[in-house]
């Protein structure tokens, strides 16, 4: 029995020493970061953009087009981030960025089997204002969700173009909303934050031009994109 007691005591001491070693090995990174009223960062990411289309009655009645379908296409984002602490669990975040995106329209004319793909390239000045709802920090990890509004200005929009070979014309201004989620991993010198969000435009992007049959077949175009971002926060 004495030997059993010694073995039990030894095991307890080993377990206690292992727990103490684990506690000593764990380091809380950036312990004072949550006390900051504001901080800044960099953001870059990959976007997948498309149009949501609704069609005019002439599209149904015309003998020109058999179908017009938007499709997804990739692009990328680069920008800055400013974060203002409102409370322990809520931040206000501004993420001005440049968004290089491409939307595609696949269509074919009645009597032709060939599908034609046209790309609409955009360079957006993207200005979202977001509310960030944070979880409690768990060691060097935190989860958050976000909800916000956005303004986009497309520097490549061709609404006022005088060219005769345009197949579609789009407007430069757009307003919309965004929502998403992300994770924050605290490192010794910065926070690594991967994030995914859905961005939905609310304004009609189509610019009517009676000389462009494709434009006249579409009643409304709204932008939609999925953005996968990486934030590096100070």
Question: Band of the pLDDT at 209, cuts 50, 70, 90?
Answer: confident
CATH 3.40.50.300 fits 35-233, yes or no: no
Residues 6+ apart with CB under 8 A from 85: 36, 37, 38, 91
How do residues 114-124 score in pLDDT, each as one tens digit? 778 888 999 99
Mark residue 16 as left, alpha or beta (left: phi above 0; alpha: psi -120 to 50; beta: remaining): alpha
Q: What would you report as the CA-atom Rg of the chain, rounded to the nearest whole angstrom?
A: 26
d(CA 194, CA 180): 11
pLDDT of residue 133: 98
Mean pLDDT, residues 126-145:
96
CA dist list (Å): 207 to 77, 171, 214: 25, 6, 11
- Which of 102, 100, 52, 71 minimizes the C-alpha distance to 223? 52
Instruction: Tell me the domain boundaries of the chain.
Output: 35-233
Output the pTM of the full model: 0.83
Residues 6+ apart with CB under 8 A from 36: 85
How do residues 3-59 score in pLDDT, each as one tens digit? 445 545 544 544 444 444 444 467 899 999 989 999 999 999 999 999 998 887 777
């Amino acid at each position: 029995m004495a030997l059993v007691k010694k073995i039990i005591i030894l095991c307890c001491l080993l377990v206690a020493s292992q727990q103490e070693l684990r506690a000593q090995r764990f380091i809380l990174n950036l312990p004072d970061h949550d006390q900051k009223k504001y901080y800044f960062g960099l953001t870059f990411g990959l976007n997948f953009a498309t149009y949501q289309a609704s069609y005019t009655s002439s599209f149904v009645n015309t003998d020109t087009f058999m179908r017009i379908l938007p499709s997804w296409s990739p692009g990328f984002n680069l920008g800055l981030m400013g974060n203002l602490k409102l409370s322990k669990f809520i931040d206000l975040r501004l993420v001005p960025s440049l968004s290089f995106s491409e939307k595609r329209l696949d269509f074919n004319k009645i009597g032709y089997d060939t599908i034609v793909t046209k790309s609409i390239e955009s360079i957006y000045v993207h200005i979202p204002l977001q509310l960030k709802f944070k979880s409690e920090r768990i060691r060097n990890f935190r989860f958050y969700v976000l909800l916000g509004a956005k303004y986009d200005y497309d520097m490549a929009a061709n609404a006022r173009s005088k060219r005769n070979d345009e197949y579609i014309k789009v407007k430069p201004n757009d307003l919309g909303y965004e929502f998403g989620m992300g994770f924050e991993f605290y490192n010794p010198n910065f926070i690594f934050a991967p994030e995914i969000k859905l961005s939905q435009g609310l304004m009609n992007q189509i610019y009517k031009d009676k000389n462009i049959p494709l434009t006249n077949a579409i009643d409304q175009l709204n932008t939609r994109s999925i953005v996968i971002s990486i934030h590096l926060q100070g």
